[in-house]
Amino acid sequence: MSDRIFGGLGLALALFFIWQATLIEESFISDVVGPKVFPIIIGVLMALASVWFILRPDAEPTWPGRGRLLEIAAAVIVMVLYAELLPVAGFLIATAVASAYLTWRLGTAPLQSLVVGLCISGGIYIVFRVILGLSLAKGPLGF
C-alpha cells in the first residue's frame, strides 16, 4: 500500500513538474530544442517510474529505521543548503563541501571524502566551464 501512495505522490509531482516546464518562456535566440525539452523528459521519466510503483508494488516493503531516516533527512538538508549557498559560495566551494559530506555519509573515510569532494568539484568544473564553456556560479574567489 505504501508503494502505491509513494507512486501516486510521485506521479502528481511529475505532472506538476511537466506542467511547470511547459510554462518556461522561450527566448527569441534559443536553440532548436528549446529550454522546455529536458525538464519535460525528466518529468516523463519520473512519471513512468511512479506508474511502476503504482502497478507493481512490493508485497511488504521494508522501511528504513529511524537512524537511516535521519541520514536521509540530513542529505536532503545538505542539498537544499547547496542550492541556497551556490550563488554565495560559488560552484567550486559549494560542490566540494556538499559532495564531500555526501560521500562521507555513504561510508568513505573523512579525509578520503574531502579528496573526493575536491575531485568531483574540480572535474565537473573542468568539463562544464573549461571544455563546454558554460557559466557556473562564481564564488568569493572569482571563479
Quick: pLDDT tens for 69-91: 999 999 999 999 999 999 999 99
**pTM (whole model) above 0.75:** no
Q: What integer pLDDT is reported at residue 27 of this predicted model? A: 72
Q: What integer pLDDT is reported at residue 33 of this predicted model? A: 67
Range of the domain at 93: 66-131
Q: Compute the half-sphere exposure of residue 12: CA atoms within 13 Å on the CB side of its CA.
A: 6
Number of structural domains found in the chain: 2
Collect the ranges in the chain with pLDDT lower than 70.
28-33, 143
* Residue labelled with grid coordinates 572569482: 142
For the chain, give the number of residues: 143
State pLDDT tens for residues 52-72.
999 998 888 788 899 999 999
Q: Do residues 77 and 26 both lie within one domain?
A: no
Q: What integer pLDDT is reported at residue 65 of this predicted model? A: 92
- The answer to whether residue 73 is domain-embedded is yes
Domain edge (last residue) among 30, 55, 80: 55
- The answer to whether residue 136 is domain-embedded is no
- The answer to whether residue 81 is domain-embedded is yes
Which H or E run includes 88? helix 66-89
Q: What integer pLDDT is reported at residue 71 of this predicted model? A: 94
Q: Do residues 90 and 42 both lie within one domain?
A: no
Q: Do residues 72 and 37 both lie within one domain?
A: no
